[in-house]
Structure 1
């Protein structure tokens, strides 16, 4: 039975895959495609060894929307390996919008099911700023989906591994620490997570650094504390980062650029799974799919003046969108 199912699956996917070939850019092969139920439109997701593309528009016409993403960065979710249905999806991001496109089919478990027509399905879900804007279903007879190999194998060959807990891909170049970077603090009644003070640094600029060591970076401007304390602080606006000064010391930093990183390698653009690998585990109170992580600096003194915190926020693409170091002292 297993051998028969394998032959059935291979022939099924080859047949379905050939249907979409005409809609792919030259040199690409189909991942999934279909015509949308209730609309005279069609969608194609295609790929080669470098790029994955998305096109949507009238059937047989010029696409109204065409997007592309490098294979290494594309948000591709492989089949979980469980259940009767086999399905996979790719999500493309365009500003505040996200386009999740999927295709699949029910696998047969008996001789009788193998003689029946295959049930195919597909979808397109559009979100804006995380809110569902449209949910479209494919006409089953038009669904093209070729399971096996494809985008998955290309990402693996590029040195990435799928992390099913965070639903993200992790670069094999990021090696887990021998001991977790994220430590436990027993300073208070409850056990809390913390990071070593050495990690509160971006490109060599550290929390608590005196102002006179930053002269080469430029002159700060006086602004109102962005965290709502009402205090006036000095801010250095650099390319990709802000450095906040209070009482002649660095008491806040933030970045939205991948060009600024911590000593351990935390930076904008990493996937959620890559952040978890660097930290060594998921911070207490959060999950592998949380949209932000916050933790304090490790300290041996209760209510220390320099009780910094780090906030890592993830965008809708499941990658780090910003990193901020803050201090309750200002």
Structure 2
């Protein structure tokens, strides 16, 4: 398949610029693969589709305030820096995106205020710049300063400034491990009440960690999708989680990956016997059709951007015709798209 096969158009006002008032009040499109059918529910109805002994896999990564605003030394030109990941804690070197990139060169110094400055020391990466941040104090002090000055990294298509409420709503309620520059958006729909109902019903709620970085939203710029290279993202899966998941496989119960990040994590560490292995490291796993999934037999995801790797994974899981039909129905029924939008449960 080619990148152009995953293109579609829809009205721009279908993009959700704000979340629903209550997390679990978003709409839920339920796709039954075997029946080739679609039904329309609310996310709070999710527990009806799971039974005692089923397992739901959540990504507990936590978003940090990765967007910094500063000025170039001398010219005072405004510069936005998007922190992707820390490369060297000792020398305080970060992989970043800079906007506007054309205004920044190696050697340029940036001032973010309150004693935090940065210097561009390299621009050899294909996607951005390498920035060395300077702050008088400890590494812990630097991280504290970033959190003090940084803003919630809302996606660019949410064309508004981050608000105080975004600090809480652009996080899952089970976020624990800090390190993401984007939220695992399928998990944003879970409320404490819904999680409790699932728990009472006897459903296993297990947590893995995959820190979302550029790999999750870097556009596919080649027509041959097999030539696209995913940016690596850090991933952790514990032995305890593996034991629960593998027991669920053995019992032939339902396993649901919440979001493409959870799916990518578990598919990055599969044994030869099709069981889940514990894992700690980096993954650049790119899932596109055709692909045989090994662990999860159901999936929760949002409605994604055209030609995105996230849409490609969803198609790989549910089939091209069914997903493109579902997206067309979503447009007709005015579902809300992207990070703060509605959800899809694929069974």
Using structure 1 for the length normalisation, give the TM-score: 0.24
Whose RCO is larger (CA < 8 A, sep 6+)? 2
If each structure's helix is expressed as a fraction of its own residues, which one has the higher value? 2
Whose radius of gyration is greater, 1 or 2? Answer: 1
Using structure 2 for the length normalisation, give the TM-score: 0.23
If each structure's strand is expressed as a fraction of its own residues, which one has the higher value? 1
